[in-house]
Amino acid sequence: MSLKIKEAKEMLLLIPRIDLGFFPTPFHKLERLSQEFGINLYIKRDDFTGKNLFGGNKTRKLEFLIGKAMEEKCEYVFTYGATQSNHAMQTAWAATANSLKPVLYLAAVVEPDENDIKANLLLDKIFGAEVHIINMQEQESFLEAEKRSFRLGKERMRQLESEGHKCMSIPMGGANEIGTAGYISGFAELCEQAEQLELGLDYLYHATGSGGTMAGLVAGKKLLGKDTLIRSIAVLDTGDHYIADKTVLANSALEYIAAAPAVEEKDFSLDTGFYAPGYECPNEGAAEAIKLLAQREGILLDPVYTGKAFAGLIHDVRTGKIERGSSVVFLHTGGATALFAEKKILGDLF
């Protein structure tokens, strides 16, 4: 049974949460691209999530995750990602701003120059995070390096806890039931803004990596009984069990907010055609998307996440997968700091 937006928001108020962002985030029409594409194209600016200058989608999740850590009286929070992880950086600032100590284990997909630290990794250090760089071994995949970083993180956590320090582990991307609740909230916020404009939303496009944002959006759609088609553009190799796993995650998030699980695998629409040659590896489609949005609307995307997602949207407009006259929202999940990262991540933009 679907809920009204007000009812969903009241449910979300009952779980631990802290104030990290300035919400609602801006929601506005991209006038020039709407005319060029023949659709009504809107953008939801979750790159403007709040108190940290470099916001993004993880801030919504961290409101709930850090809120839970504080309720449990933790002293340290651990998390994981690549060296230029948006999630790791946002976790560092959110923890530090709330008197928690962030510990980051970061896999070096692109090995940083210790004499020239850039972008998110630089911010991690400025925020005072305890940073552990996990250098990739010969023939080691990112997934294998991730698993190694998890083991090392557990060892460090055990050490701290043996000394009497309470720790909380936050998964990559904040993709557990607690963090995913952040995008049940985010979807409700978007629907409320659309209703205020008397706007029906046909499509919602966004980037997906660890999958918490995707699971939360789909859970929110199910909870509110909306018809918007959510198209999730993968930024990495999702593997064979991705949708099954995210179905479980979406339902776990619904249960966490005391709603009935209702999400099925068929509720997801995942496109894996735009991430090649790999995570944190640039491609021509993303470069075109970044330049197009910058030069038409003055808005910056990044080469790792939003550039690839917007490339998927552009492709679907050009091939007719998005019908002319449709109302389409692009969820800007942040990450523009990658424009100042290593050249291997940035690619050829000029």
For 251, residues 6+ apart whose C-beta sits below 8 A from its C-beta are 219, 261, 262, 263
| pLDDT at 94 (0 to 100) | 97
Q: Which of 34, 85, 99, 149 does the annotation list as catalytic? A: 85
| pLDDT at 2 (0 to 100) | 74
Encoded amino acid at 238, one letter: T
| pLDDT at 137 (0 to 100) | 87
Measured CA to CA, the distance from residue 165 to residue 157 in angstroms comes to: 9
**Nearest residue to 69 via CA among 98, 39, 89:** 98
Q: Domain 58-174: give its CATH architecture.
A: 3-Layer(aba) Sandwich (3.40)
pLDDT digits (tens, 9 = 90+) for 73-94: 999 999 999 999 999 999 999 9
What the block records as the tokens of 249 is 């995650």
User: Are β-strands 40-45 and 27-29 bridged in parallel, bridged antiparallel, or unpaired?
Assistant: antiparallel
| pLDDT at 349 (0 to 100) | 87
Place of tokens 């631990």: 16
Q: Domain 5-56+177-346: give its CATH architecture.
A: 3-Layer(aba) Sandwich (3.40)
- Reply yes or no on whether 327 is catalytic: no
Nearest 10 degrees: CA dihedral of 337, 343, 344, 346? 40
| pLDDT at 143 (0 to 100) | 82
Contact in structure between 187 and 180 (CB atoms under 8 Å): no
| pLDDT at 156 (0 to 100) | 98
For 1, residues 6+ apart whose C-beta sits below 8 A from its C-beta are 260
pLDDT digits (tens, 9 = 90+) for 132-176: 999 988 888 888 888 999 999 999 999 999 999 999 999 999 999
Residues of the chain predicted below pLDDT 50: none
Place of tokens 């969820």: 331
Within this chain, domains 5-56+177-346 and 58-174 share the same CATH topology: yes
* Integer angstrom CA distances of residue 257 from 12, 58, 296: 6, 18, 40
| pLDDT at 51 (0 to 100) | 86
Q: How is the chain split into domains, by residue range?
A: 5-56+177-346, 58-174
pTM for the predicted model, two decimal places = 0.96
Measured CA to CA, the distance from residue 166 to residue 334 in angstroms comes to: 31
| pLDDT at 55 (0 to 100) | 86
Measured CA to CA, the distance from residue 6 to residue 4 in angstroms comes to: 5
Output DSSP code: residue 241: S
